């Protein structure tokens, strides 16, 4: 059974870089699939951030691309997200999820999410 667990600081200061990690269990991320990050501001809808393939190919939301880096650590079976120059608008629950075999796909397994607040 594939499980995903997000982790990272719950509070980030404006203009700093948000860094999150997603640990995958029950499946080796080097075996396949795209893996991604999605966020949800309080009381609002879902926004896709980025996907990464097991070979390291990346796919970014154009509206966030200039500030986002997604990466894999296959030795730890983790994917990571960095979002630079954060503002209060980046306050959200951040989810990691499993996609498919193309960069655009539905997400069939999700982590529980981690809340990040941007505040001084």
Partner 1 sequence: DIQMTQSPSTLSASVGDRVTITCRASQSISTWLAWYQQKPGKAPKLLIYKASSLERGVPSRFSGSGSGTEFTLTISSLQPDDFATYYCQQYESYLTFGQGTKVEIK
Residues that bind partner 1 (CB under 8 A): 36, 45-48, 51, 59, 61-62, 95, 97, 104-108, 110-113
Q: How far is the CB of 111 from partner 1 (least distance, A)?
A: 7
Residues forming a β-bridge with 94: 39, 114
Closer CB to partner 1, 15 or 63, in the complex: 63
Closer CB to partner 1, 16 or 47, in the complex: 47
Calculate the alpha carbon distances from 61 to 10, 39, 70 in Å: 23, 12, 11
CB atoms within 10 A of CB 106: 8
Q: What SS3 state is found at 47?
A: strand
Rounded-to-integer distance, Cα 40 and Cα 87, Å: 15
Q: How far is the CB of 52 from partner 1 (least distance, A)?
A: 13
Closer CB to partner 1, 16 or 67, in the complex: 67
Q: How far is the CB of 7 from partner 1 (least distance, A)?
A: 15
């Amino acid at each position: 059974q594939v499980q995903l667990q997000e982790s990272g600081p719950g509070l980030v200061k404006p203009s700093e870089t948000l860094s999150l990690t997603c640990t995958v269990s029950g499946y080796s991320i080097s075996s396949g699939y795209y893996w991604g990050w999605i966020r949800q501001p309080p009381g609002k809808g879902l926004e896709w951030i980025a996907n990464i393939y097991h070979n390291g190919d990346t796919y970014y939301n154009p509206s966030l691309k200039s500030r986002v880096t997604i990466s894999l650590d296959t030795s730890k079976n983790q994917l990571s997200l960095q979002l630079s120059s954060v503002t209060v608008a980046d306050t959200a629950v951040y989810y990691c999820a499993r996609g498919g075999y193309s960069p655009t796909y539905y997400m069939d397994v999700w982590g529980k999410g981690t809340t990040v607040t941007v505040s001084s």
